[in-house]
Chain A
Amino acid sequence: MRLIESIGEWLDARLQLGTSIRETMEHPVPRETASWFYVFGSAAFIVFILQIVTGIMLALIYVPSAGEAWSSLQILNHNVSLGWYIRALHGWGSNFMVAIVLIHMVQVFLFGAYKYPRELTWIVGVFLLIVTLGMAFTGQVLRFDQDAYWGLGIGASIASRVPVLGPWIVNLMLGGPIIAGATLSRFFALHVFVIPGLLIAFVAVHLLMVLKLGINEWPMPGRVVRKATYIKDYHELTRKDGVPFVPGAIWKDMFFAAFILLSIAVCAAYFGPFGPSGPPDPTIIQTSPRPDFFFLWLYAVLSFLPPSMETPALLIGPVVAILGLLLLPFLFGEGEKSWRRRPIAVLTILLVAVALGTFTHLAQHTPWSPVMDAWSGEPIPHEFLHNRSALERQGALVFQVKQCHNCHSLGDEGGKRGPALDKVAVRLTQDQLIRQVIQGGGNMPAYGKNLSPAQTTALVAFLETLHPAGQSPARNASRALALEPDTAAPSSHQ
């Protein structure tokens, strides 16, 4: 014990850091901030450390070469003992880090912590969010599989829409004309050197400001932020009713960080690593690329935007969102901090959360994508074929063979791109069915050139059987009159 003490003294005589470390640890924080709501920032930091450690572990084996990256992931998964677990820790750590950073941001927003004098802390936080998402995207590219390959294609297609500079941005992003070796190398450099460097620098500034300006006090309704008086009031609060950060507040941070690390470890052990999916060979086109969890909402948005709005929304949307976040502390730098007095702030969070959640949920089901193998892999349920005539069954065959099933479901099987056809005969008359099949429209291709008259007749005969047992199909009233001579319409108007 004496030995450790004397080594410590020897070191401190030279480093002279002891006093400032002690002051930092014991600096008073407002009593109410020793709360379970104030643990997310430190948890994000701990997960970042985990990412650095596991990232370095992976770099011992991983080969950042387009020809070999995928095999090196297989080696990590199967040939290196516990290589799969390190990959799983890094992958789950990434998901947890994005989630915790987002939760931290929501907490800071709802507690009004971005207001004077912590504007710059918030702005650096916005940069931290951007680089964290940058790490998530570039990391997904390093898992160089089919999803990564086509994900890069989507990124390039979006970048190419920038006016004038688009093609050059694509070449710079890909490092050449196509997605290939140079692309992976530069995403490796970004993921391993550039973005982590920025992340470390931003974290340092962010933390420094938390220490210099003090942690945000617990917001009380009616305790209004005014630039003239805030700093004096804050110091009075910490002096009168403060607790030393260590150990007054830090034990909760420690418990939560440990809980998060444990959760990551358990998820990694139970669910295992992410992918890789198929090899990054563009000639394997039987693939349905999907982005990682935190970009699923974007995938959904991209399929719902009308074509004319897509380019403006893709290029202007992110700029507006980031500018809005950066300007927030300047527009609302004073006033009430408590969420109880800021209904618009609460509603904004709810709106964004519901929107992102809905889009993410939709992207997990991808109702807008055709089910590419439904025509050959998902048969028509038998109740739609029972007691049908030969012509109608021939129509069911046309329905399968012409890939109608890829976009239209029957009995919940098949694509959801177009409307379900279980009851289509109730909605459309025979003439309307023929017209829709031949001419398409309403986002359906026209099949006129691809169907013979016999096939169209059979298909429509089948579609006309698609109505509930007790409900008669839609029919054209005037046509019925014309076809039944004994109830012929009065001819006065003719």
Chain B
Amino acid sequence: MTLPGGLTRRDVLMKLGILFNGIIAAILAVPIVRYLLSPVARERKGGYESWVPLGSLDQFPSGQTRLATYRNPVANPTDGDTADIPCWVRNVDGQTYQVFAINCAHLGCPVRWFQQSSLFMCPCHGGVYYQDGSRASGPPERGLFEYHYRIENGKLLIRAGEMPTPGHASNIVREIRPCV
């Protein structure tokens, strides 16, 4: 049987078959794409961040900079040690604090504090920061990432949950201008 326009019945059925498969593929693609994008979609819904306690204030004596660790607020049972995140806490004068991310603002390596020279140094590419987190030398384009903090019942809390990276710093941490 030939339809007007030279189409046979078989041609039409084959095209319908392709169309059906296309529709089903599009329907199935929705949950698959949604599943793949879940790490991103999660962020839009309220983000990964929350207030995390770093411990009591007496762990951070005045004028000192100490390493603190916290369990990331978003963590799964399979994460093991990787969800234990370190950070540097600086007690400026007993009243004000600064909490710096461990990640160098260059490429994320762990910076180390040197109390004697009051510098943070990065072992990877040699980024160096002053005690207030501002850039001292090396490849970083900016100072260390800094968490927002607050004090509650003698405890220090920071707003954390996501690894700070150079492209994603402004949302979660205060920018520090290099003091030159």
Contact B117 A160 (CB under 8 A): no
A63-B139 Cα distance, complex, nearest whole Å: 37
Is B10 interfacial (CB 8 A cutoff)? Answer: no
Does A158 touch B at the CB level, under 8 Å?
Answer: yes
Q: Which of A171, A282, A401 makes the CB contact (< 8 A) with B39?
A: A171
Q: A450 contacts which chain B residues (CB < 8 A)?
A: 117-119
Which B residues between 33 and 80 are near A, CB-CB below 8 angstroms? 36-37, 39-40, 42-43, 48, 67, 69, 72, 74-80
Give Cα distance in the complex from A369 to B111, angstroms.
12
CB pair B82–A179 under 8 Å, yes or no, is yes
Contact of B79 among A156, A180, A310, A406 (CB under 8 A): A180
A171 touches B116 (CB 8 A): no
Question: Are B141's CB and A287's CB within 8 A?
Answer: no
* Contact between chains at A160 and B168 (CB < 8 Å): yes
Which of B1-9, B90-98, B102-110 contacts its partner?
B102-110
The reply to whether B109 and A370 contact each other, CB–CB distance below 8 Å, is: no
A119-159 Cβ-contact flags toward B at 8 Å (1 or 0): 00000000000000000000000000000011001101111
CA gap between A179 and B110 in the complex, in Å: 14
B108-163 at interface with A (beta carbon < 8 Å): 108-112, 114, 116-119, 121-126, 128, 130, 136-141, 161-163
Residues of A within 8 A of B40 (CB): 168, 171-172
- In the complex, the answer to whether B82 meets A280 with C-beta atoms within 8 Å is yes
Instruction: Find the B residue at minimum CB distance from A303.
Output: B125
Known: A66-B80, A288-B124. A180 touches B72 (CB 8 A): yes
Query: A177 near B78 (CB under 8 angstroms)?
Result: no
Shortest CB distance A470–B (Å): 33
Say yes or no: B124 contacts A282, CB within 8 Å: no
Q: Do A445 and B123 have beta carbons less than 8 Å apart?
A: no
Are A283 and B86 touching (Cβ within 8 A)?
yes
* Chain B residue with the shortest CB-CB distance to A401: B116
Find B80's partner among A181, A285, A310, A446 (CB 8 Å cutoff).
Answer: A181
Q: Would A150 and B110 count as touching, CB distance under 8 A?
A: yes
Q: How many residues of A contact B (CB 8 A)?
A: 70
B173 close to chain A: CB less than 8 A: no
Q: Are B107 and A180 in contact (CB under 8 A)?
A: no
Complex contact A178–B163 (CB within 8 A): yes
The answer to the question of A12 belonging to the interface, with a C-beta cut-off of 8 Å to chain B, is no
Q: Does B161 contact A177, Cβ atoms closer than 8 Å?
A: yes
- In the bound assembly, the distance between CA atoms of A447 and B36 in angstroms comes to 50
Asked if B165 and A406 make an inter-chain contact with CB atoms under 8 angstroms apart, the answer reads no
Shortest distance between the CB of B161 and any CB in chain A (Å): 6
The answer to whether B121 touches A285, judged by C-beta atoms less than 8 angstroms apart, is no
Contact B80 A67 (CB under 8 A): yes
Given the complex, which residues of A lie within 8 Å of B77, measured CB to CB? 67
Contact A307 B139 (CB under 8 A): yes
B contact residues around A406 at 8 Å (CB) = 114, 121
Q: A153-B108, A287-B123 are in contact. Are A178 and B167 (CB under 8 A)?
A: no
Given contacts A157-B166, A177-B48, A406-B121, contact A283 B81 (CB under 8 A): yes
CB distance from B15 to the nearest CB of A (A): 29
Q: Which residue from B36, B78, B85, B107 sits with its C-beta under 8 Å from A302?
A: B107
Tell me which residues from 277 to 328 in chain A have a Cβ below 8 Å from any Cβ of chain B.
279-283, 285-289, 299, 302-303, 305, 307-308, 310-311
A387-407 interface code vs B (CB 8 A; 1 in, 0 out): 000000000000001111011
- Per the bound structure, the CA–CA distance linking A247 and B162 in Å amounts to 60
CB–CB B76/A282 < 8 A: no
- B102 contacts A157, CB within 8 Å? no
Q: Say yes or no: A156 contacts B108, CB within 8 Å.
A: yes
**Interchain CA distance A281-B81 in the complex, whole Å:** 5
Q: Which residue of A lies closest to B102 (CB)?
A: A285
A321 to B98, CA, bound (A): 42
B84 at the interface (CB under 8 A from A): yes
A153 in contact with B167 (CB, 8 Å): no
CA distance in complex: A403, B126 (Å): 13
Q: Tell me if A153 and B103 are in contact (CB < 8 A).
A: yes
- CB neighbours (8 Å) of B67 from chain A are 283, 285
Task: Knowing A160-B166, A166-B167 are in contact, say whether A307-B78 is a contact too (CB < 8 A).
Answer: no
Contact indicator A172/B39 (Cβ below 8 Å): yes
CA distance A177 to B67 in the complex (A): 21
Which of A160, A161, A178 neighbours the largest number of chain B CB atoms within 10 Å of its CB? A178
- Shortest A314–chain B CB gap in Å is 10
Residues of B within 8 A of A411 (CB): none
Which one of B74, B86, B138, B171 contacts A282 once the chains associate, using CB atoms below 8 Å?
B86
- A158 to B67 alpha-carbon distance, docked (Å): 26
Among A158, A159, A178, A447, the residue within 8 A (CB) of B162 is A178
19 contacts between A and B (CB under 8 A): A68-B80, A150-B110, A153-B107, A156-B163, A166-B168, A171-B42, A172-B37, A175-B39, A176-B39, A178-B74, A181-B78, A181-B79, A182-B39, A283-B69, A286-B112, A302-B125, A307-B140, A375-B114, A449-B130
Which residues of chain A have a CB within 8 Å of any CB of chain B? Answer: 65-68, 149-150, 153-154, 156-162, 166-168, 170-172, 174-183, 185, 279-283, 285-289, 299, 302-303, 305, 307-308, 310-311, 368-370, 372, 375, 401-404, 406-407, 417, 440, 443-447, 449-450
Supply 15 further A-B pairs (C-beta < 8 A) apart from A66-B78, A167-B167: A65-B78, A159-B167, A167-B168, A174-B163, A175-B39, A178-B161, A180-B72, A180-B79, A180-B82, A180-B83, A282-B110, A299-B124, A303-B124, A310-B141, A370-B123
